[in-house]
Amino acid sequence: MIKNITMGQYIPGNSILHRADPRTKIIWTFLLLIALFTANNIYGYVMMLALVGIILVVSEIPVKYTLRGIKPLLIILILTAVINIFAYQGNTVLVSVGSFKITLEGILQAVIVAVRLSLMVIIGSILTFTTTPIQLTDGLEKLMRPLKKIKVPVHEMAMMMSIALRFIPTLLEETDRIIKAQSSRGADFDTGNFIERAKSFIPVLIPLFVSAFKRAEELATAMEARCYRGDIGRTRMKELAYTRVDRNIHMFLIAFSIVFIISTFVI
C-alpha cells in the first residue's frame, strides 16, 4: 500500500510537459479539475478520458506507474460506488430487495464518481511527476504575487506547499523502513480485523512522528545556516519564462476547452 502512493514524486524526463513552464501546468491543472466536475454528460467524460490519455502519452510517464497511484483509493472508490448504487434514486429499477433498489441511474452515477476520483488523482499526479518541487514553488509564488499587495505571505505559503510535496516520498520511505523493522521483530500488520490492524500501526506512528519532527528541525537549522530570509533579496538560478512549448499547450487546451464547453452546456 505504501509503495502505491505516487503523489508528490518527481520523475525526471525531457518530455513536452517536463519542459513546460510550471505556471502553465499549475493553471491548467486547476482548470481541468474544474472541468472534470462540471461535466454532465457522456460526451464530457469521454473527452476528459481522451485528454488525460493524450497527456499521459505526451508526458512519457509509464501508464502502469500512474495507475498505481489509484490503488490506495480502491476502498474509497468501492465504498462510494456501493453507496451510490443503493442510495441514488432512479426510474429504471434493475433489482429490488425489500426497501433497497438498484437502478440503472444509480450504477451510472457510481461509474461517474469512480471516473471523477480516478481522473482527479491522475491529473494531480501528472503535475508532480513532471515538475520539480523548486519549480512548483517558483510557479506558485509567481501566480500568487498579486496577493502581496494585501499583505499575504505568498513566498512562505509557496515554500510550505513545496516542502510538504517534497517530503511525501521521504516520509513514505521512512514508513516502509519502520514497518520492515517492526515486522522483523515479530509485529503483524496483515492479519486481524480492521480495528486490530489499525492498532498494530501504533508502533509505526510514534517513531514516524519522531523522525518527521527531527527532519523538520534539521531542515530549519540548514535553512538558518544558509542565511535564509524568505524572498527578500532572493535570486534564482533559473528564471521562469514562457516558451513556444507553453504557447502550443495553451492553444491546444483552449481549443479543447471550447469543444468541451459546447458538448457540456450546448449539446
C-alpha 187 chain-centroid distance: 32
- How confident is the model at residue 233, as a pLDDT? 65
pTM of the model: 0.76
Q: Is residue 141 part of a domain?
A: no
Are 201 and 106 found together in one domain?
no
Are 83 and 17 found together in one domain?
yes
Per-residue model confidence as pLDDT tens digits over 175-203: 888 888 877 877 776 676 667 777 777 77
Average pLDDT for the chain: 81
- How confident is the model at residue 255, as a pLDDT? 92
Are 65 and 17 found together in one domain?
yes
Are 20 and 55 found together in one domain?
yes
pLDDT at 247 over 90: yes
Select the more confidently predicted residue: 88 or 112.
112
Range of the domain at 107: 1-131+237-267
Residue with cell 474509497: 76
pLDDT at 28 over 60: yes
pLDDT at 261 over 70: yes
Are 204 and 105 found together in one domain?
no
Domain total in the chain: 2
Are 36 and 6 found together in one domain?
yes
Are 50 and 181 found together in one domain?
no
Q: Is residue 149 part of a domain?
A: no
SS3 string, the chain, reads CHHHCCCCCCCCCCCHHHHCCHHHHHHHHHHHHHHHHHCCCHHHHHHHHHHHHHHHHHHCCCHHHHHHCCHHHHHHHHHHHHHHHHHCCCCCEEEEECCEEEEHHHHHHHHHHHHHHHHHHHHHHHHHHCCCHHHHHHHHHHHCHHHHHHCCCHHHHHHHHHHHHHHHHHHHHHHHHHHHHHHHCCCCCCCCCHHHHHHHCHHHHHHHHHHHHHHHHHHHHHHHHCCCECECCCCCCCCCCCCHHHHHHHHHHHHHHHHHHHHHHCC
Q: Is residue 265 part of a domain?
A: yes
pLDDT at 229 over 90: no
Q: Could you tell me the pLDDT band of residue 7, with boundaries at 50, 70 and 90? A: low
Are 228 and 241 found together in one domain?
no
Q: Is residue 138 part of a domain?
A: no
pLDDT at 4 over 60: no
Q: Could you tell me the pLDDT band of residue 206, with boundaries at 50, 70 and 90? A: confident
- How confident is the model at residue 251, as a pLDDT? 93
Average pLDDT estimate for 244-251: 92
Are 2 and 82 found together in one domain?
yes
Per-residue model confidence as pLDDT tens digits over 92-119: 777 777 677 778 788 888 888 888 888 8
Are 223 and 244 found together in one domain?
no
Q: Could you tell me the pLDDT band of residue 121, with boundaries at 50, 70 and 90? A: confident
Average pLDDT estimate for 144-153: 84
Could you give the percent of the chain with pLDDT greater than 90? 11
Alpha carbons 101 and 106: distance in angstroms, whole number: 9
Are 107 and 165 found together in one domain?
no
Q: Is residue 143 part of a domain?
A: no
Closest by Cα among 72, 68, 66 to 128: 66
Q: Is residue 144 part of a domain?
A: no
Per-residue model confidence as pLDDT tens digits over 150-179: 888 887 887 787 777 777 777 777 888 888
Q: Is residue 137 part of a domain?
A: no
Select the more confidently predicted residue: 57 or 8.
57
Are 55 and 166 found together in one domain?
no
Q: Is residue 123 part of a domain?
A: yes
Alpha carbons 62 and 9: distance in angstroms, whole number: 13
Per-residue model confidence as pLDDT tens digits over 32-61: 999 988 888 888 888 899 999 999 889 888
- How confident is the model at residue 133, as a pLDDT? 79
